[in-house]
Amino acid sequence: DEIHIYRFMEDCINELRLEYSKQNIIINYNNNINFNTKVIMDSQKIKRVIFNIVQNAIKFMNKDEKVLMIELREEEKINIRIKDNGIGIEKEQLSLIFDKFYRVDEARNTKAGGTGLGLAIAKQIVEAHKGEIWAESVLEEGTSICFTLSKVVNEGESHE
Ligand code: ATP
Ligand code: MG
């Protein structure tokens, strides 16, 4: 479906804040999205992508400063970045975390829980939308998971 991304994200952010307010987690949000910008997507699935990434960000975040940042940039594509201030991921592992069942340092991770599927599912959904997904990280400083979505190109804007 063609979805207004501005409105979609507002709804997502509200839902996330509601869900995580009990844990005193602060979710910062900023964007430069035009009200009219549309994206062709399955909103339920993209919501799943965002929630899977946020779930990780919260699992691995700095427990003394429970803040995460969600950023949307409208350029040629829509760029979505979910950034935490957590333990980080080593360079060598950055591409592996999107593999099925892959978990950095099993031992450290058993406490955190999970099966290693969240990011594999996210990647599969983003790629089905012809987008890209990747991770950027600095150990002990934090991680950003980023993905892109294509905009609907509006040729006949003038008739509106
Ligand atoms: P599941 O999502 O199935 O509950 P999971 O969270 O372990 O399990 P993924 O979401 O696929 O699995 O993440 C894979 C691994 O990548 C995690 O186990 C963790 O080691 C690492 N990882 C993912 N996100 C972060 C993050 N924000 N900070 C640090 N490590 C991360
Ligand atoms: Mg996960």
Ligand closest to Cα of 109 equals: 1
Q: Is residue 32's pLDDT more than 60?
A: yes
Question: What does pLDDT average to over the chain?
Answer: 93
Q: Is residue 76's pLDDT more than 60?
A: yes
pLDDT band at residue 142 under the 50/70/90 scheme: very high
The residue whose two tokens read 């975040």 is: 61
Whether 31 and 72 have beta carbons less than 8 Å apart is answered as yes
* pLDDT for position 160: 47
Residue nearest to atom 27 of ligand 1 (CA): 57
Report the alpha-carbon distance of residue 53 to residue 16 in Å, rounded. 12
Q: Is 141 helix (H, G, I), strand (E, B) or coil?
A: coil
Encode 135-145: b = buried (16+ Cβ within 10 Å), e = exposed: bebeeeebbbb
The arithmetic mean of pLDDT across residues 105-118, rounded, is 76
Q: Is residue 131's pLDDT more than 80?
A: yes
The residue whose two tokens read 């069942």 is: 101
The arithmetic mean of pLDDT across residues 121-138, rounded, is 98
CB of 86 shorter than 6 A to ligand 1: yes
Ligand closest to Cα of 107 equals: 1
* pLDDT for position 94: 94
pTM for the predicted model, two decimal places: 0.94
Residue by residue, DSSP assigns 113-147 as ---S-HHHHHHHHHHHTT--EEEEEETTTEEEEEE
CB of 103 shorter than 6 A to ligand 1: yes
Q: Residue 92 corresponds to which amino acid?
A: E
Residue nearest to atom 5 of ligand 1 (CA): 116
Percent of the chain with pLDDT over 70: 92
Q: Which helix (H) or strand (E) holds 49?
A: helix 43-59
CB of 93 shorter than 6 A to ligand 1: no
* pLDDT for position 115: 87
**Distance (Å) from CA 98 to ligand 1 centroid:** 9
CB of 115 shorter than 6 A to ligand 1: yes
The arithmetic mean of pLDDT across residues 104-121, rounded, is 80
Q: Is residue 155's pLDDT more than 90?
A: no
* pLDDT for position 157: 58
**Distance (Å) from CA 136 to ligand 1 centroid:** 13
Q: Is residue 86's pLDDT more than 90?
A: yes
Q: Is 100 helix (H, G, I), strand (E, B) or coil?
A: coil
Whether 41 and 151 have beta carbons less than 8 Å apart is answered as no
Name the β-bridge partners of 135. Answer: 145
* pLDDT for position 109: 64
* pLDDT for position 105: 76
CB of 60 shorter than 6 A to ligand 1: yes
Relative to the CA of 118, which ligand 1 atom is closest? 2
